[in-house]
Structure 1
Amino acid sequence: MSSSTFDRETLLDLVVNAIPLGIILFFMLVFVVLNPFGSAPVQTALQFTIMLVMFVALGILSYYSARAISNAEKELEEEPAEFAEPQAAFADAEIESEYDEEDFADATEEIDESDSGVAIAADAEESAEESEAADEPPADADDEDEKA
């Protein structure tokens, strides 16, 4: 393992995997020292096998993750233009050519002057009143119940 594979940024990315490794190692040591489940050899062997397999699998996963992160960082450093978003360079030019500041100011003034916000609020109140009216039973049904 070269030192460039596990630089500072890569190690910070892998802290997420180091915490579970530490937890598994802690419980392995606790079960060796305290032996809370008795001394049944089959159960103890199965327990330690499961913990050891998980520890080794997470360790291998962490190593390959570190390599993938390191390789991606190297590729990004070598050719940053290759990984840049192609639309980002053209988006600013298109926006500037399509819109003029004066047109934008005129459009915003028109929106500010209109009462569209008031109309929307009035529509919302009307729809709320209609839904309340729909929930109430018709007046004719009450009259028929009283007559019977």
Structure 2
Amino acid sequence: MFERDVLLDIAVNIIPLAMIIVFAAAFFVVNPWANDTTFSRVLQYALLVIPFVCLAVVTFVAARRVEVVEDVEVGP
């Protein structure tokens, strides 16, 4: 999908995405707050999912822009 250089450019954003996935999985497997309510669980996952989605969109848009800029030839 993207070239190697573009993937290296967006690796700065891919690493935090992976960290958010790890935390979401850890919170799903191990409930750190045993006496929580449904609202607190929804809030907990919303605080992980919303930044994940925003960062994923920004990363994708940035990768597309970097790829387009790299394809444009620069004059002499």
Query: Secondary structure of the equivalent of 2:32?
Result: coil
1:8 aligns with 2:4: yes
Q: Give the number of aligned pairs.
A: 75
Larger RCO: 1 or 2 (CA < 8 Å, sep 6+): 2
1:43 alignment counterpart: 40
Q: TM-score, normalised by structure 1?
A: 0.49
Aligned residues with identical type, % of pairs: 33
Q: Which of the two has greater helix per residue?
A: 1
Query: Secondary structure of the equivalent of 1:14?
Result: helix
The one-letter amino acid paired with 1:71 is: V
TM-aligned CA deviation for residue 50 of structure 1: 1.4
Query: Secondary structure of the equivalent of 1:35?
Result: coil
The one-letter amino acid paired with 1:47 is: Q
2:23 alignment counterpart: 27
Gaps of 5+ in 2: none
Structure 2: how far apart are the matches of 1:22 and 1:40?
27
Gaps of 5+ in 1: 85-148
Structure 1 segments (4+ residues) deviating >6 Å: none
Aligned Cα root-mean-square deviation (Å): 1.1
Q: TM-score, normalised by structure 2?
A: 0.92
TM-aligned CA deviation for residue 70 of structure 1: 0.4
